[in-house]
Amino acid sequence: MFIIETIGKTYQFSRSMKEGIRNSQEVGIHANCTWIKGNPTENLEDLKETVAFMAWQEKLYAKNGTPPKAVNKRMFTLTWYPGTEIIHHPRVRQELNRVFGLNFNPTTHEPVCDEKFHQYCLALDDATKVLEGPDGEPLNFSDIPNDTFLKIRELVDSDRTLEILDM
C-alpha cells in the first residue's frame, strides 16, 4: 500500500496501481484506466478513493509532460448483463426485482424470461448511463443514496469528476 495526500485528504492505494501507472509512463505507454461505479457495498468514501487516484494520476502525468486531460475520468455504471456472474450477488437480484420487477429462479438465480426481462434487455444500450425502471427509479447496486448516485453521474457526464471529492 502507498499513501498519498490529494486535495487535502489522505488516501491509500495498492502499490501495484501506483507502480503500474508510473512504469507505463516511464516507457511511453499511455495507461487508459477504466472505472466502474455502483458496485454492491460501495459507498461514497470508496468512490472518492477511485476519484483521488484519478487526481493523483493527473499530477503524475503533468510532472511527466502529459496533459492532465489525458487521464480518463469517465466511469461506467455497474450494470448486470445476462450471463454475467454478478447476478449471484443477492443485492443485484434484489435491486433488479425492486426497480425492474425481474424475478429469478431461487436455485439457479437465472432470470425468468418474461416481458419484464425483455424490457430490461432493451434498456441495455450504454454502460455509462444509469438504467431507470418503468417508474423512473434508478438502478443502483451500491450503498450510495440514489440522489447522490445521480449527482455523481451528472458530475462525471459534465467532465467534473474530481468534484466528487467535495461531496
Tens of pLDDT, residue by residue over 53-98, are 999 999 889 988 889 899 999 999 999 999 999 999 999 999 999 9
Q: Write the CB contacts of 139 (distance below 8 Å, at least 6 apart in sequence).
A: 79, 95, 96, 99, 100, 130, 131, 132, 133
Task: Indicate whether 39 and 57 sit together in one domain.
Answer: yes
Highest mean pLDDT among 2-11, 60-69, 109-118: 109-118
Task: Indicate whether 130 and 111 sit together in one domain.
Answer: yes
Q: What pLDDT is stored for residue 1 in this prediction?
A: 59
Q: Determine the length of the chain.
A: 167
Task: Indicate whether 96 and 132 sit together in one domain.
Answer: yes
Query: Is residue 34 pLDDT above 70, yes or no?
Result: yes
Separation between Cα atoms, residue 45 and residue 35, nearest integer Å: 15
Separation between Cα atoms, residue 78 and residue 163, nearest integer Å: 20
The C-alpha cell that represents 39 in the structure block: 458496485
Task: Indicate whether 16 and 69 sit together in one domain.
Answer: yes
Residue 152, class by beta-carbon neighbours within 10 Å (0-12 exposed, 13-18 middle, 19+ buried)? Answer: buried
Proportion of the chain above pLDDT 90, given as a percent? 74
Task: Indicate whether 25 and 84 sit together in one domain.
Answer: no
Task: Indicate whether 114 and 48 sit together in one domain.
Answer: no
Q: What's the structural domain count of the chain?
A: 2
Task: Indicate whether 47 and 91 sit together in one domain.
Answer: no
Cα torsion for 141, 76, 10, 146, to the nearest 10°?
A: -40
Q: Model pTM?
A: 0.89
Task: Indicate whether 64 and 89 sit together in one domain.
Answer: no
Give the residue numbers spanning the domain of 159.
2-76+145-166
Task: Indicate whether 12 and 56 sit together in one domain.
Answer: yes
Q: What pLDDT is stored for residue 115 in this prediction?
A: 97
| Side-chain-side CA neighbours of residue 81 (13 Å) | 7
